Structures are given as C-alpha cells and as structure tokens.
Amino acid sequence: MKITIENIGVLGKISVELAGITVIAGENDSGKSTIGKIFFALVHAFSNYPVLLQQERKESIRRQIERIFFELRRNFDLSQFPQIRESFSPPLLIRRIELLDEAALLDMSMMLNTLKEASPDKATVLKLAQDRLDKLRDYVRIEISDKDAIANSIFKALQSEFGGEIVNKSQTNNAKITLSDGETNIFDVTLSDSGIIDFHGGENMGLEDATFVEGPAVIQFNNAMSGYSPLGESNRTSSGSIPFHTLDLSQKLRNGKFGLFNLDNSNSNLNLGNIYKGKVYFDDEEKSFFLRKGNYRVSSDNIASGVKALGLIDMLISGGYVGERMLLILDEPETNLHPKWQIEYAKVLCELASRGATILVTTHSPYMLEALKGFVGKFNAKANFYLASKSEDNEINYVDTTTNISPIIRVLSDPLSKLIDDISDEF
C-alpha cells in the first residue's frame, strides 16, 4: 500500500510504502509523526464512517429542533401544551430522533398549527418555526452516499488529529492524499482546513483498525480520559481537544478483548512480560492500571516508564489489537527503554509482522534500527526503511533505504562523531 502526501503538517510532497514493518528514521520535525497520524485517521475514517455519519445526523437534527423549542418556549407557555412540550423538548427528544420520519414531522407541523389557532398574533414566530421544520424535513430526506460519507469522515478524522490545522502553513496549495494498493487506486482526496475540495475512489483500504502509540503516559493519565469518547464531539475539553488517537488507545487498554495472540502462556515469544518479569493490566473494579509481579502488585503511579512502555504493547497484543488487517503505529518506541529492551522490543515487532500485522515505526535509535533490520531477515517479514531529512531551505525529503540502511546509520551517528570532535578540540 503506497501513500503520497502533499502539503500536510510540515510535509511538502513525499511517498511511503506500507507493508509488514515500515521504518522511518530521521531528525525531529521532519514529518514522521505526521505520516502516522494520517494513516491512523484514514483507517478509522474508512472503518467508522457509518457511525460518524449517524452521530453527525443525530447531532444536526437535535440542534435544529432545539432551536425551534427554545423559540417556542420564549413565546408560549408550553405548560399549557404538554404534547407540544414533549415533542420538542431536548431531554425527551433524544429518544425520538431515531423515529423521526415524515409522519413524525407532519405531527410536529400540526402542533404548530394548534399554537397558531390558539395565538394568531404569534403567526410570525410560528412561520419561522415552520420554515425550520421544513428545512429539517429536507435534511432528513437526503440520503448521503458512501463516497460522500467516507470523504466527510476522512476530513473529520484529520481535523481531530491536526487540531483543525491540516494544510502546511508554508504552502499556498491545498493538501492532497493519494492511496493506492499495487495497480489499484484506493482514493485520492484534495482538501483545505475548512473541508473536502475533491474526492475520488472509495475502495476498501484492507485495514480494519489502527492503533497509534506515542508513549506510555496514557496509562498514567487514563482516568482523565475515561469520560471521553474517541468519536464525535465528546473529545473536546475546556482547553481544546484530546487527540483522536490518544482516546482510542486509552479505550482499547481499558476494554481489551481476547484476540489473535493469547499471551497467557509465559513462554510465548510475544510476551513482553518475560522481559520485565511481570504483567501490566487494567483492573475493572478499581478503574486503574497495575503491575503484577509475583505475589504483589504495583499501582501505575509507581511503575517505571520503561515497564509501562512494554506493558502497553503487551496489553494491545493480548487484547487482540495487533494482527492481520490491523495497523500498529509506534512513534519513537525507544523512548524510556534501555538499549537491551529496545532490541527485545524490535524482535517482538518483527515476529508480529511475520504473523500478518502491519506496523509503522518512527525512530531515532540506532539500536532499534539495527535490531529491526536484523530481525526482519530472521523472521522473513516484509520491511521498508526510509530516511527523513531536511535541506538547508527546510524542504523535507524521504529516501527509500530498504536495500541499504547505512545512510540512516550515518545520520544517526553524526552527532556522536561531532561531539567527539568538539571535545577533542577543547584539549
């Protein structure tokens, strides 16, 4: 699967092939995380568009009827008209939205006529209410195609991931994404920060789910996110919005189901608990994460960051969120990990890829990079390696180094060589 991205985040135009394990290495602010966010948003847009469409329609209907209700309440004593109050009242409306059809809308129009007969002097107010009801009838009649629903879902997902700022601010052109699978074009979309401009395609991506991991902090702050939902408007807080991928990860760790790889067997090669000698888990009763070690357990406040990092992946694997037709996105997974654990982590990732998982990894670590390259061969997993770099004028380039990762190793080792030279000059 090949993606071409133009003018999103800090990126100009780059292309990346996704298969087995895809590794992107390079300096900071070179768009590595941007690619992960885009893939995450696209997978969820295709998987969740029916739910997102339903939620959006419910919310639009609710807002329109609420406007009618509050206008009526300001001009009439609705306690004298209990049936009208029940039909338009927001608390009671939620139950009726699913049943809102032509017959229900006609009943609501007849109720407005009842008010007009009782208060002919309020005809202007009721005319405005009826006009809004007519617009609502037109909205309910509209059948949105799958293509339009997918395009809208893509925009909503990207908006969530990029905080509404999708398009590269240094560019005057719109953003564009093209996704293909071999010779088949899945879709191409052109968009701005305010909406979709053009959309073609709509083939199934072939991925059912995506999980984006950018660190173990989600375990520590799980309770702060438990009241929010990854979908809809409920990810907004008073200070902004919680990224879609963060809420999604938090929910998966809390609600993990039995899945593809059963890690109850302590001898399993995929059990990262063998490395940190324990098991991180979520306690449903106490609504918190714990580390079980032998006969005692440790609360999440006192679990080392490295253990949390390994435990998090352990939970995703045993929960069934890593496997065939699923994308795992790991943003700098070496953070908080000793080189020894980085190598073990890489080994597990390569075995997962050999079993059918699709994994995208961004990294700065030569240990992680060399381990991934080595274990890919051992497990016969598909792999792609890219070097992300910046030119002097801040243009970002991606170079395919799959056949030879030495350019990446050279870039990652340059800072150490420079440090040695600088220290030597002092003496």
pLDDT tens, 201-215? Answer: 877 888 889 999 988
CB–CB of 123/206 below 8 Å?
A: no
Full strand arrangement of the beta sheet holding 209-213? 209-213, 326-331, 358-363, 21-26, 383-390, 396-400
d(CA 334, CA 156): 31
Give the residue-averaged pLDDT of 48-72.
Answer: 79
pLDDT at 227: 60
pLDDT at 16: 93
Give the residue-averaged pLDDT of 233-241.
Answer: 50
Residue 390: beta bridge partners? 396
Work out the pLDDT band at 357, boundaries 50, 70, 90.
very high
Residue 91 has pLDDT above 70, yes or no: no
pLDDT at 257: 53
Taking 3-state DSSP, the helix, strand and coil percentages for the chain, each rounded to the nearest 5, stand at 50, 20, 30
pLDDT at 5: 93
CB–CB of 168/12 below 8 Å?
A: yes
pLDDT at 99: 56
Give the residue-averaged pLDDT of 230-240.
Answer: 49
pLDDT at 105: 78
pLDDT at 273: 84
Cβ neighbours of residue 73 under 8 Å, at least 6 residues apart? Answer: none
| pLDDT per position as a tens digit, 373-411 | 999 989 999 999 999 888 777 788 899 999 998 888 888
325: left (phi over 0), alpha (psi -120 to 50) or beta: left
Count of residues in the chain: 427
Give the residue-averaged pLDDT of 192-202.
Answer: 89
Calculate what percentage of the chain has a pLDDT beyond 90: 28
| pLDDT per position as a tens digit, 270-312 | 888 888 888 888 888 888 889 998 888 988 888 899 999 999 9
Work out the pLDDT band at 267, boundaries 50, 70, 90.
very low
3-state secondary structure of 388: strand
| pLDDT per position as a tens digit, 22-47 | 999 988 878 888 999 999 999 988 88
pLDDT at 241: 66
pLDDT at 295: 87
Name the more confident of 150 and 225. Answer: 150
Q: Which DSSP state fits 80?
A: G
pLDDT at 233: 47
Which tokens go with 108? Answer: 């609501």
CB–CB of 315/276 below 8 Å?
A: no
Work out the pLDDT band at 426, boundaries 50, 70, 90.
low
Calculate what percentage of the chain has a pLDDT beyond 70: 88
